[in-house]
Amino acid sequence: MNLIEPLLRYAEQQPDHIALTDGEESRTYGSLVQRMTTIAQGIRQNGLHHDKIAILSANRIEFVEVFLGAIYAGCVPIPLDPKWSINQVNAVLQQCQPKMIFAETHLAKILDLQDTAIQLLTFSDQDMGSGSYDSWLLTLKPEAEMDESNELLFIGFTSGTTGTPKGYMRTHLSWIQSFEATKEAFLLNRIEHMLAPGPFVHSLSLFAVMQSLYSGATFHIVKEFDAGKVLQLCKQNPDVILFVVPTMIEALLQQKDKFGQTQIQALISSGGKWSERSKNRCREIFGAAKLYEFYGSSEASYISYLDVHADNKPDSVGKPFSGVQISIRDEHLQEVTPGGIGQLYIRSDMMFTGYYHLPEETSAVFRDGWLIIGDFMYMDQDGYLYLAGRSKNMMVSGGLNVFPEEVESVLQQMPEIQEVMVLGVQDAYWGEQVTALVKWSGQTRLSVEQIKDYCCRQIANYKAPKQLITVEQFIYTSSGKIARQAMKDYAKRWMI
């Protein structure tokens, strides 16, 4: 199975239908496929077969063209995050050894290319020199045939804020299965317009682009997230399907009054826990729009989903997608009973195949065909999943395990709090003292005692924060999540 095949069909059936647009420039299905085959021809002329093609760029039409062209040629595209440090970019290049690199001009300058045989082409509106992407295209013809011999679709990289990101390998089949799961779970009447304003280098937005093209729809490219621009596009394009992370939803809610009524078909959230308060506001403001939250990861793809309108299960991450097997196990690898907390294992055709050139890390997350997610979960009697916390974030306070996500979900219900992160701070008495970093929603500031009193009504008292730190702004990863390590470093500096 090859993900490109539907695009070829659409190029014949609806050649003039818009496939991609950024508001200034667009590609029809006919012109996109022509550009894709032209790029593939250039890759072939370089003698490449199953080789790596790196893309270092922000969101733009050319990013998608090159991504598709590499796949059509049987090669493996590798999106690189423009927000990485210079060291991270060059470390990933050293690991992957791409034979070609496509980059924005200002980003190309940071590359440390020790192999002079690597061809570097730059996206630029002004430069038409020998290293220009546009100049290179002018020398080629759309003559390439599709190479279907490579099961590997692409290698993406985790969005960690420290260290070298890990490459996760995804196959054509894993994403095709995920596309079908989207249609089944989210009950989409039709897919005509799609928008995912996050960076293409992250799986949520890249997946949405490919889902849109796989479905013959129009994808609206936003070069960087702007709540006003997103709402304007939603107003101009009725029935748009919107893939976002919770931080984006908050920005959209703040801007909504300026743009009046929008006709969003579905708002689909992932990449972090969507608070109940925010869901309630979306019910009020976005009216008839379908609202979904899904839980997953770059490695697992879809795991579970929740219909915000239909499922009365506060704080749940929903039921498993069709085809996803769930196993929740204790420290002895035994299945826990319903309601018992254990580590989550999943199995499906949507999973990744492993980490690129990291056999030990790959072995550590697989057990007998099951993928170890690294999250602690429990399932209720109705089959709904609840996130107790992530193993890597767990703290030990007074000898007892505390998951920050559980405490955060309680604090997010307080109207005085706009955003919060809970962490453990080293303490001689407690081992780790439960500490909350809080961004207040208004002028009201609560005391630590008021916070404790509220928490103790819903969770055990040892989980309640013993210290508060007010922050004006959180630091985020490029995928829109709170950068936990960077905020931990901030808290340490604050306490000195």
Q: What percent of the chain has pLDDT over 70?
A: 97
Where does the pLDDT of residue 161 fall: very low under 50, low under 70, confident under 90, or very high at 90 and above? very low
Q: Rounded to the nearest 5 degrees, what angle is found at the Cα of 202, between the Cα atoms of 176 and 417?
A: 120
Where does the pLDDT of residue 259 fall: very low under 50, low under 70, confident under 90, or very high at 90 and above? low
CATH code reported for the domain at 225-390: 3.40.50.12780
CB 450 within 8 A of CB 438: no
Top mean-pLDDT range of 199-213, 402-416, 471-485: 199-213
Domain ranges of the chain: 5-158, 225-390, 394-495
CB 206 within 8 A of CB 214: no
**pLDDT, averaged across the chain:** 91
Taking phi first (over 0 means left), then psi (-120 to 50 degrees means alpha), and beta for anything else, what does residue 62 get? alpha
Average pLDDT over residues 361-373: 95
- Whether 478 has a pLDDT exceeding 70, the answer reads yes
CB 54 within 8 A of CB 106: no
Which among 25, 366, 63 has a CA at the least distance from the CA of 202?
A: 63
Where does the pLDDT of residue 109 fall: very low under 50, low under 70, confident under 90, or very high at 90 and above? confident
Given this model, what pLDDT does residue 364 score?
Answer: 94
The third-level CATH classification (topology) of the domain covering 5-158 is Rossmann fold (3.40.50)
The answer for residues whose C-beta is within 8 angstroms of residue 112's C-beta and 6 or more apart is 86, 90, 93
Out of 232-241, 327-336, 420-429, 462-471, least confident range: 420-429
Given this model, what pLDDT does residue 159 score?
Answer: 62
Q: At what angle do helices 5-13 and 203-214 cross, to 10 degrees?
A: 40
- Whether 406 has a pLDDT exceeding 90, the answer reads no
Domain 394-495 grouped into CATH 1.10.3720.10: no
Given this model, what pLDDT does residue 288 score?
Answer: 85
Which among 205, 264, 202, 207 has a CA at the least distance from the CA of 233?
A: 264
Take residue 96 and report the two structure tokens written for it.
Answer: 């992957």
Q: Give whole-number Cα distances, 218 to 58, 184, 191, 229, 240, in Å.
A: 19, 20, 8, 17, 9
How many Å apart are CA 144 and CA 138, to the nearest integer? 15
Q: Rounded to the nearest 5 degrees, what angle is found at the Cα of 279, between the Cα atoms of 188 and 484?
A: 105
Average pLDDT over residues 468-494: 85
How many Å apart are CA 53 and CA 78, to the nearest integer? 6
Given this model, what pLDDT does residue 130 score?
Answer: 65
Q: Give whole-number Cα distances, 328 to 163, 193, 333, 425, in Å.
A: 30, 37, 9, 29
Which sign, positive or negative, has the C-alpha torsion 213, 3, 59, 185?
A: positive
- Whether 128 has a pLDDT exceeding 70, the answer reads no
pTM: 0.86
Which amino acid is residue 58, in one-letter code? A
Each residue's pLDDT tens digit, 272-307? 888 888 899 999 888 889 999 999 999 999 999 999
Which among 383, 241, 258 has a CA at the least distance from the CA of 324?
A: 383
Check if 225-390 and 394-495 are the same fold: no
